Amino acid sequence: MSDETEGLAEGGELEGQGGKKKRGKRAIIFIVAGVLLLLLIGGGGAAYFFLFASHEEEAEVKPEQPKVTVFYDLPDILVNLNSPGRQASYLKLKVSLEHNDPLATPKLNELLPRVIDNFQIYLRELRPDDLVGSAGMYRLKEELLIRVNQAVAPIKINDVLFKEMLIQ
């Protein structure tokens, strides 16, 4: 029995070594296959990018027209503020509207009464405390921008610029 156990032990070792060699070969095959798959995917993505994406970008590129900025000055606005007590407070504004369409200026002239009316209605409800500091001016600017865009739609006003603001 000692011969059989020796043969089994030797055979077992031979099978174990052969199994390890087979597992090692399989691992190498899987690693190589994985690397090849990654190269194919990466190469395909790179080919798509260079062949198709660059042509799409070229097709989309248009010569840019220079952006024109037009300023439209509103007439001076003078309103009395909603002040507590008997003492009257006044607000005087000089405002300029910024837009990008030079052809919109005649249309703005036609819609000027609507713009002034919207501004006056809003400004008369303000209290002097609403206009204190830069935060107050920023809120006023944003509100006037919303109101002017509603009044002159579809013309797009980009900004309301204060040329002068006096609270008395």
pLDDT range class, residue 26, cuts 50, 70, 90: confident
CATH superfamily of 70-167: Band 7 domain (3.30.479.30)
Task: Return the SS3 of 80.
Answer: strand
Check residue 14 and give its pLDDT. Answer: 47
User: In the predicted model, is pLDDT for residue 4 greater than 70?
Assistant: no
pLDDT in tens, 50-88: 777 655 555 565 666 668 899 999 999 999 998 887 788
Q: Are 72 and 105 in contact (CB under 8 A)?
A: yes
User: In the predicted model, is pLDDT for residue 159 greater than 90?
Assistant: yes
User: In the predicted model, is pLDDT for residue 142 greater than 90?
Assistant: yes
Phi-psi sector, 79: left (phi>0), alpha (psi -120 to 50), beta: beta
DSSP letters spanning 21-40? HHHHHHHHHHHHHHHHHHHH
| pTM of structure | 0.59
